[in-house]
Amino acid sequence: MWNISCPMTTATARPSTVVPTAATKSSAQEIREWLETFAQCVREVDYDRARDMFDPDVVGFGTFAAMLVGREALIDGQWKNIWGCTRGFRFLLEGAHLDISTIGDMAFVASPWISEGRDSAGNWYDRLGRCTLVLRKDAGGAWLCIHSHYSRQPTPGKVGEGVTPA
């Protein structure tokens, strides 16, 4: 069903560079669970559940909106314009890069993702993309996203006179 072809033009995807300690293993697992939960929220178009996973002052860049400041702006300006028009969203975690700071309360995620979208004729097509996320643990121990950046996989065109490569 999925034709996954995500060529890497710079560095290859790699596992976390964090030295595995009991604390980072636990945090890494928590982050992976956070990603799985968020992907489920996208698939189920569950804004309320996803809302609690994001800091009220989150800053987001998206595939629909250029830049949004604040959780409600992100929900209204990005999520509500995309989630209901897609299906099957998931992170491709086998290619994800996950870093957790040495103090354990910050995390950086870079991951490819995939879903299906609909074209103007109503036909489904593969949507490939990538994201970067910055998460911070709150006082209660929950991971909250403080920055998200989602973009579609580039589809560079022919480079010619007057054309800038992607």
| pTM tops 0.85 | no
Residues above pLDDT 90, as percent of the chain: 58
Question: Tens digit of pLDDT for each residue in 10-62?
Answer: 233 334 444 444 455 588 889 989 999 999 999 999 999 999 999 999 999 98
Phi-psi region of 45 (alpha: psi -120 to 50; beta: other; left: phi over 0): left
> Is residue 132 scored above 80 in pLDDT?
yes
Strand partners, 135: 107, 145
- Say what the pLDDT of residue 26 is: 82
- Within its chain, how far is the Cα of 81 from the centroid? 16
Q: Where are the beta strands (DSSP E) in the chain?
A: 54-61, 68-69, 86-91, 97-100, 106-118, 124-137, 143-152
Domains of the chain: residue spans and CATH: 22-152 (3.10.450.50)
